[in-house]
Amino acid sequence: MRLENKVAVITGAASGMGKAIALLFAQEGAKVVVSDIAQASAQLTVDDILAQGGEAVAIATNVTQEEQVQLLIQTAVEHYGTLDILVNNAGIMDNFVPAADVTDELWEKVFAINTTGTMRTVRQALPIFTEKQSGIIINIASAGGLNGSRAGAAYTASKHAVVGLTKNIGFQYAPLGIRCNAIAPGGVATNIGTTISEPNPFGMERAMIGMGLNPRNGQPEDIAKVALFLASEDASFVNGTVIVADAGWTAY
């Protein structure tokens, strides 16, 4: 029970890595706020947690909307009394669109969810963490946030920005008892592919060129275990950094 009585907010927790993190955190004793734009699917995650004897509540949240992000954090505190852990998992892909073809609309949509949404939840959580002199932030970045061609231009830039934001927060707020780290997954079997509709042929060909080097795809539970480590006291000396979880893909 490494997270006993801790309160965790997890965005994008209706499926994939977010759901796996929510389930594992609940098994380890956390009270989980399952946040997702899809209320019904978020409730299914809650139902699974409750069936296992855990505590959880679902809150529908569109992280591109400031007022909904504010409501998410406020509701979590009202429901459970505090906030201890924030996991920013909500994200979308970008159809592998390369720089020459990216539109303002696509760029802004990807950044609104992947980067600005992360900033907004952090902005709401930090005053709570600062007051209690403790708090943990875990951002789900990507191998695409550390390398140049795992997706299109917008996704790549958005995840690089998440890495920079993570390092900035981790260092600046360390004296206040707050830790901020990121996980950079490689290929993981989730439904983020459903956010790809009409992939750009050139961009996809360039992004897929290294897939043959991937030792294997991971499962959402593989990433959840890394998140549990970062959320626990086992990682008390880990701050402002990125843990790559990709079976060695980017080590080549």
Number of residues written out for the chain: 252
The DSSP code for 116 is I
237/179 Cα distance (integer angstroms): 9
Six token digits for residue 23: 């389930």
Q: Which single residue is written with the structure tokens 């907010």? A: 9
Task: Judge whether 183 and 141 are in contact, CB under 8 Å.
Answer: yes
Please give the span between the terminal C-alpha atoms of the chain, in angstroms, as a whole number. Answer: 36
Residue 25: left if φ>0, alpha if ψ -120 to 50, beta else—which one? Answer: alpha
Q: Is 155 a catalytic residue?
A: yes
Nearest alpha carbon to residue 193 among 95, 90, 61: 95
Q: In what order do the strands lie in the sheet with 242-245?
A: 55-60, 31-36, 7-10, 85-88, 135-140, 178-185, 242-245
Instruction: Give the bridge partners for 178, in sequence order.
Output: 135
Instruction: Give the bridge partners for 34, in sequence order.
Output: 10, 58
Q: Which of 80, 155, 173, 252 is catalytic?
A: 155
Catalytic (active-site) positions: 155
